[in-house]
Structure 1
Amino acid sequence: MDKRVYTYDSTLRDGEQCEGITLSLEDKLRIVRRLDAFGIDYVEGGFPASNPKDIAFFEAVRAMPLAHAKIAAFGSTCKKGVPAAEDQGLADLLACGAPVVTIVGKTWDAQVTRALQTTLEENLRMIADSVAHLKAAGRRVVFDAEHFFDGYAANAGYALACLRAAHEAGADSIDLCETNGGALPFDVERVVSEVVAAFPGQAFGIHCHNDSGCAVANTLAAVRAGASTVQGTVNGIGERVGNTDLLTVIANLELKCGVTCVGAGSLRNLTSLAQYVAELCNVSVPAHHPYTGTSAFAHKGGLHASAIARFPEAYEHERPEAVGNGARMLVSELAGKASLVQKAAMLGIDLVDAGVDVQAILDDIKEREARGYTYEVADGSLALLLRRHLGTYQPAFTLESLRVIIDDREDTGALAKDATSEATVKIHVGDKRIVATGEGVGPVGALDNALRMAISECYPEVSSMELVDYKVRLLDESQGTGAITRVTITTADGRGSYGTVGVSENVIEASWNALVESIEYGLLRLC
């Protein structure tokens, strides 16, 4: 397969329909800029008159200089019984000034009679009249054939008649929508092949949902069958279980199918784009997400890591650098010496040149993990442990004592929300003894504040470190409040983020140990 496939992003409309995701006007404009720089062909902005935010979006985006992307406004065909020239919805689409207009129309006969409550003939009129009206106004028109695959299965003749109405009215692209997300790839490929054959010269696109977990596969199948435009959202966000992940589709088409979408140069920004949009959506890219997840090229088993060092293709289907990601070696009780040596190198530590007993370090790690530690998400703690074995570890400070007080002055039982915490730490930095007290909503926040107050004069660099995630796990629930507790902390600084871990029967002690290592490793990163 050697051709050009166009990309159509619907993150700002379909993506925002994902439960829990709301984008501000500025968020939307930032995403447009990033998608444009990445090389996306069409960016759908939403309904131009559905709410004040979308009205403001189209006003703002008109003044935005875009290097590549074209903005699409989304709406529906004219209403039943209303000529397209008199339809307010179509008038709003034209008034917003978007160069591309995408209108959705019914192609499933049951939807026409039950949802629209009109005749099959009137629906054909609505499609043809709307497309022709928008084309006469000089717009590029995309017709989204809603529920097409269900409609084709129920009444292929009528579904094709709907496409014919859009085709004869001049639709630039007819995008077949797998709206319910239940189709399978072999069915999609067969149907798209039949449709493409029925309309020579007409451009077709594909729009899939992921309810059966096949959105990406269905999209690739449609391209094999002749679709020239792929619709989707960044990271696959969308209603129910989501839409096609446009970034995964792009990577597969570029790297595996010989198809040009954005080009190899832009493809190297795939991971950063996924992370950027996720951050604006206030979510995280799932760790195991294809291509862009932090675990997409992570290796844990000792045999895997050993093979990767000599033959990366053994366990990496593509080079992570091609999509802007990187390989990661995970150190655990499953790891071998090769894993540990490679992981240490990634942390800037050369165990081979140091001449240390790598097996002894590995045995220590395995023994610690048997007691509850985990280093898969705790690079900071692992780096400090390696330095202890190398004899190069120097503590930035030492603890004399700490005390935490929980103060709840109002007895409102389980509904109490007014408790505060106070922590006092006595710290030694060199020959200097420092006592500091910090407050916080919880005990860990209070400890964090107290520790920073104590060492900030000696280590002003701590101001650039921020505790961004805190997790607690009971490792033996059967022991109740006496169970071993593992605390993992994620800290961010100007260079990225890293994790540390603490383990104890006392959750405060486990938290303190993880907190201390987060500060110590953060200081090492700045050296």
Structure 2
Amino acid sequence: MTPQETINLAVRCAKLYRELTTDSGDPEMMRTEWTLEFTPENFQDTSVEFALQICEAVKEAWQPTVENKIIFNLTSTVEVAMPNIFADQVESFCDNISEREKVCVSLHNHNDRGCAVATSELSQLAGADRVEGCIFGNGERTGNVDLVTLALNLYTQGIHPGIDFGDINQVVNMVEELTKIPLHYRAPYAGRLTFCTFTGTHQDAIRKGYRVRSIAEEKSGQVVPWRMPYLPMDPADLNRKHEAIIRINSQSGKGGIAWFVNKIFSIDMPRGLELDFTRLVKTYADNTGIEIMSGMIEDLFRSYYMLPISSQGKSIRWELECPEVTASLDSSEGGSGKFNDEYVTNVTVMRLEKIHGIEIEVHDRKTQIIGKKDGFQKTAKFMQLKSKGRAAAWGVGIHEEPTLASLQAVRFLSHNAYKTLIFSGLERRNELDSRRRNVTMVALNHGTARGKE
């Protein structure tokens, strides 16, 4: 067909549609509001001049109004050029079509070059009024433009797309059920891993971002605008949980692991403890080859640094006896007077020195006040003992009573520190590897079950 024959065919079709609808004389047809959408199917591969000629002819045949516009659907049926080239074509069309106020310029972009979203965005900036696409980019071949990505890109720039994706998981479930096509884990905004980070540097930045945001909201007393490293929008806007943002595997860094510990225990680990626990978790991840869930991290931390929960009662009677050192610590009797941090720590050091014949020093001691939870304020005590020229061991206690928190940390150290303190070199590494393997099995058994809940 010649160009003129193509134009004539399009005009005959437009006139026929009008005769069958608006001009049919049928009362029902006349009461119905009819809108014509005309699609120059190969617009992306056609000269803009010819596209304008055929669209002008169809517009004249259809006779649109300002109230009931004609839709010209400009297609990138098969992507053949970069997004800016197509956008230039759209801009030229918008600038030169007559009676622009009676025309709705629509887009229909496919994803053959993986640029459908970018092409649609640039073409909207070039003057387009409307976009056709599919949820999650379904469609012929590589699919149509992904309307979820396109809409939420606008949302992150402060423009409401007019579509509610407030429960993105429900949308994903519905589309997967209807299409039988699973959504890619890393699909923008909706994939299961979209708001998850495994890389240590990213995790650390997000952890600090949440801390800054929390302080800012506490000071202002109101929600502050969303600004977060590596997270272009608040997951809560899509009904995604913040707890799933940071994920742990063997590639994760201390920032992500510390984030989990803070979420579980409401504590910020001292740097030395953070480094020690990071090594432990990464060893566990390497040995198991699995993603580390929150329950596993809790089990590992408790097993390696804290007394069992059953031993963390409000009243603890603890006898320390060894040659030339005898002390009785009873929290129900002594209160926080005699049995302060320094006293219970010194007794522990003397006990270990006498029993094992090694010199031990208190290398680090930290206290943190944990904000009120359920009306109770707790204290966290971190203690690190170090044998001269050898290894270091950490103990952690958390309790409403500061003295009991110290007792918990010291009691753990008195029973477990020697395993770390009296070994060095290859012996120590073998001992730690053996212990970590045991802890790994406990955490795997308990943590996996928690992860499935």
Could you state the TM-score of these two structures normalised by the residue count of structure 2?
Answer: 0.54
1:149 and 2:43 correspond: yes
CA distance 1:314–1:352, change in 2 (3 Å): closer
**1:62 maps to what in 2?**
none
Whether 1:193 aligns to 2:91 is yes
Q: Which among 366, 377, 380 is matched to residue 282 of structure 2?
A: 366
Q: 1:339 to 1:132 in 2, by over 3 A?
A: farther
2:375 is matched with none
Higher RCO (CA-CA < 8 Å; seq separation 6+): 1
The structural deviation recorded for 1:221 is: 1.3
Q: 1:249 aligns with which of 144, 150, 156?
A: 150
Asked if 1:163 corresponds to 2:55, the answer is yes
Match of 1:318 in 2: 233
Identity %: 21
The corresponding residue for 1:276 is 174
Residues 326 and 290 of structure 1, relative CA distance in 2, 3 Å threshold: farther
Task: Tell me, in whole angstroms, the C-alpha distance in 2 between the residues paired with 1:331 and 1:123.
Answer: 59
- Structure of larger gyration radius: 2
Deviation, 1:224, is 0.7
Q: Deviations over 1:183-223 (max 9, x none)?
A: 32111211111111223111111111111111111111121
In the alignment, which residue of structure 2 is the partner of 1:184?
A: 82
CA distance in 2, matches of 1:212, 1:360: 47
Aligned length: 287
Q: How does 1:5-404 map to 2 (within 5 A)?
A: 119-130=6-17, 133-136=20-23, 137=29, 138-153=32-47, 156-168=48-60, 169=62, 170=64, 172-199=70-97, 200-201=100-101, 202-256=103-157, 258-262=158-162, 266-311=164-209, 313-327=228-242, 328-345=245-262, 348-350=264-266, 352=268, 357-375=273-291, 378=293, 381-382=296-297, 384-386=299-301, 388-389=303-304, 390=306
1:17-56: per-residue Cα shift (whole Å, max 9, x none)?
A: xxxxxxxxxxxxxxxxxxxxxxxxxxxxxxxxxxxxxxxx
Tell me if the contact between 1:275 and 1:284 (Cα under 8 Å) persists in the aligned partners.
Answer: no
- TM value normalised by structure 1: 0.47
- Which structure has the highest strand share of the two? 1
For the Cα contact (< 8 Å) 1:146–1:176, is it kept in 2?
Answer: yes
Alpha carbons of structure 1 residues 516 and 369: separation in structure 2 relative to 1, 3 Å: closer
Give the superposition deviation at 1:384.
4.7
**Contact preservation (8 Å) 1:297, 1:316:** yes
In 1: Cα distance, 2:18 partner to 2:309 partner = 71
What residue identity is the alignment partner of 2:258?
V
Q: Write the deviation string for residues 111-154 of structure 1: whole angstroms up to 9, x where unpaired.
A: x99xxxx755223322443356445533442414143423423x
Distance in 1 separating the partners of 2:45 and 2:20 = 25
Q: Cα 1:237–1:388, aligned 2, differ >3 Å: closer, same or farther?
A: farther
- Please name the residue that 2:345 is paired with: none
Q: Is this contact kept in 1: 2:107–2:130, CA < 8 A?
A: yes
Tell me, in whole angstroms, the C-alpha distance in 2 between the residues paired with 1:392 and 1:285. Answer: 42
SS at match of 2:228: helix
CA distance in structure 2 between the partners assigned to 1:370 and 1:196 by the alignment: 58
More helix by share: 2
Which sections of structure 2, spanning at least 5 residues, go unmatched? 24-28, 210-226, 311-440
The offset of 1:233, in angstroms, is: 0.9
